[in-house]
Amino acid sequence: MWRLQKIALLTVLVFVLGVLGFTATTLAQDDRFELIKTVYHVYVDGENIGLVNEKSVVEDIKSDIQKKAEDRFKDVQLTVNENVQYVPERIFNPEVNHISIKQKLEDRLTIGVQGVKLSFGGNTLGYFKNKEEAQKVLRDIKLEYTDKKTLDRLEKEDSDEKEEDTKKEDKVLSVSFDQKENLEPVKVRVDELTEPEDALSRFEKGTFEKKKYEVEKDDTIESIVKKFDLNQEKLYELNPKLNKEDKLKQGQELIVLAYEPYAQVIVKERLTKEYVIDHETDVKEDDSLLKGKTKVKQKGKDGKKSVQYAITKTNGKVTEEKVLDEKILSEPVKEIKLKGTKEIPSQGTGSFHWPTVGGKVTSHKGQRWGRDHKGIDIAGPSNRSVLAADNGKVVSAGFTTGGYGNKIVINHNNGFKTIYAHLASISVSPGETVKKGQKIGVMGSTGNSTGVHLHFELYKNGALQNPLNYVSQ
């Protein structure tokens, strides 16, 4: 107000002098009018801190302050944080104190960065010294979910003129955020700058926001504050109607603080997977094959197919999978099995098979070493398989006492019974029906035996017979 009053008085004075007849030359020759000078009121963030006779006085002080800071921040575009304004005025014989102004400016002015604010949907992730650093943070976030080579290719494709995608090969199609990323030029104090590593960690953790939580059956105040990493005082502050004496009720709504993502990284890709096509098995009955036996007529083989998908991943997890194409790489081959239906008669034919594969009789039935030798001994076969002499049912099979060792007894259900002794191993079980000539064990030397051989006995209607009267090679 006082400044306006001065200007008004000066105007009146000039007018009066003109009326009294003073000429312009007279005024110019009056030394008092040479004392009227233009000065500048200096305002810092709206507060008047004094007068200067030239704007350059303040600008030089600002420049000196910035230069001192540049010694510490060589790669950062620095600026003065405060808003400095000038209001000019013509004053009679003004008094200015540049030393005082300089001291006030050095005390008031602070140095900041003409930086960049990076935000997602209104949530600020951080402040960075330039656009390049902010863009590198965005790139590093994406590299958590893809590789450098892929990201380089996508960035090049974005800068080049896109060609029609006709090859349809497997590849990552895009890497983006589900929230729009905003890069906004801002003035920021140096101590407010965000380290890129801290920004990555902050992005992964998310922003702390209020949200509603519905109390579950076994919830307590202690379990809720632990679940949301709060303290009890903060929980009560967020819920002023919640009394410490009250018990929580299931379904009750509380306000809590929880981490919400700034944004989610969306990766879209084409990906082909190969799958095995299981072959089918067809079982056919065969009356030429003994019952209980099977035979592979045609070996089965699994096939292969490839399926190409359009896959969407959100923060590394598959959230959508759509089939684009499916191809059969190789057809499966059906396996054909023959299942025997031919019954093995449990009654013998009465005609006997030689019980070994070759060999010769080394001991006959009759007296031997003062004792009755009940059967014949066969040794020296071309292989040691022991064969059933005729159709029949296994009565017993296993190790026995009395010198026989491993022994098999077969009832041929026609009055005949045969015994096979001193076996190294047995391949049939009691109750099993065997076929004439079927392998039932391996020749050995168990029990009272002087060497590898088969002891073979034959009975008719319970009476011991000489086997050589019924079998021959």
Convert the pLDDT of each residue in 146-166 to its tens digit.
999 999 999 998 877 666 666
Give, to the nearest 10 degrees, the angle between helix 55-70 and helix 98-108: 40
Distance from C-alpha of 58 to C-alpha of 102, rounded to nearest angstrom: 8
- Contact between 314 and 268 under an 8 Å Cβ cutoff? The reply is no
pTM of the full structure: 0.54
DSSP 180: -
DSSP 3-state of 159: helix
Question: What is 265-342's CATH superfamily?
Answer: Resuscitation-promoting factor rpfb. (2.20.230.10)
- If we measure between CA atoms, which residue out of 296, 455, 428, 437 comes closest to residue 353? 437
Of the candidates 341, 363, 344, which has an alpha carbon nearest to the alpha carbon of residue 437?
344
Burial of 208 (0-12, 13-18, 19+ CB in 10 A): exposed
Give phi and psi for 182, each to the nearest 5. -115, 130
Taking the C-alpha atoms of residue 292 and residue 342, their distance in angstroms, rounded to an integer, is: 9
Q: Does 356-469 match 265-342 at the fold level?
A: no
Rounded to a whole number, what is the largest CA-CA distance in the chain? 179
How confident is the prediction for the chain on average, in pLDDT?
A: 88
- Do the beta carbons of residue 303 and residue 328 sit within 8 Å? yes
The two tokens of residue 385 are 């398989």
Spatial distance between the Cα atoms of 444 and 22, rounded to a whole number of angstroms: 153
Cα–Cα distance, 254 to 235 (Å, whole number): 9
**Cα 387 to Cα 277, 406, 409, 433, distances in angstroms:** 44, 15, 12, 13
Distance CA 160, CA 145 (A): 23
Pairwise CA distance, residues 330 & 305, whole Å = 7
Domain borders along the chain are 2-111, 115-152+169-204, 211-260, 265-342, 356-469
Helix (H, G, I), strand (E, B) or coil at 354: coil
CATH superfamily of 356-469: Glucose Permease (Domain IIA) (2.70.70.10)
Q: How many residues does the chain have?
A: 473
C-alpha neighbours within 13 Å on the C-beta side of residue 122: 2
Backbone angles phi, psi at 192, to 5 degrees: -95, -5
Residue 211, C-beta contacts closer than 8 angstroms, at least 6 positions apart: 255, 256, 257, 258, 260
Residue 101, SS3? helix
Residues of the chain with pLDDT under 70: 1-33, 71-72, 74, 161-167
* Domain 211-260 listed as CATH 3.10.350.10: yes
